[in-house]
Amino acid sequence: PPPAGLPGDPDPEEAVSDDSSRHGGRVRGFPHERGNWATHVYLPYIAQEEFLELLELLVSRARTYVPSLAAMEEFHLSLSQCVVLRYHWIEPFVRSLRERLAAFHRFFCVADQVKVYTNQNKTRTFIGLEISAGHFQLLELVSEVDGVLEEFDLPTFYKDPSFHISLAWCVGDLSGRLEGQCLRELQDIVDGFEESAFLLRIQWEQIRCKSGNKYFSFPLR
Q: What is the pLDDT of residue 188?
A: 98
CA distances from 45 to 11, 27, 39 (A): 27, 25, 18
Query: CB-based contacts of 136: which residues, under 8 Å, 6+ apart?
Result: none
Each residue's pLDDT tens digit, 15-43: 344 444 444 555 545 555 678 999 999 99
Distance in angstroms (rounded) separating the CA atoms of residues 104 and 212: 25
Q: What is the pLDDT of residue 34?
A: 75
Each residue's pLDDT tens digit, 115-157: 999 998 999 999 999 999 999 999 999 999 999 999 999 999 9
- Looking only at the bridges linking them, the beta strands covering 164-171 and 201-204 are unpaired
Answer yes or no: is pLDDT of 46 > 90: yes
Identify the three-state secondary structure at position 71.
strand
Strands (E), 29-156: 36-45, 70-71, 75-78, 83-86, 107-118, 124-133
Q: Which domains are assigned to the chain?
A: 35-219 (3.90.1140.10)
- Looking only at the bridges linking them, the beta strands covering 75-78 and 36-45 are antiparallel
Which helix (DSSP H) or strand (DSSP E) does residue 136 occupy?
helix 135-151
Higher pLDDT: 161 or 21? It is 161
Stretch 174-203: mean pLDDT:
96
Catalytic residues: 76, 164
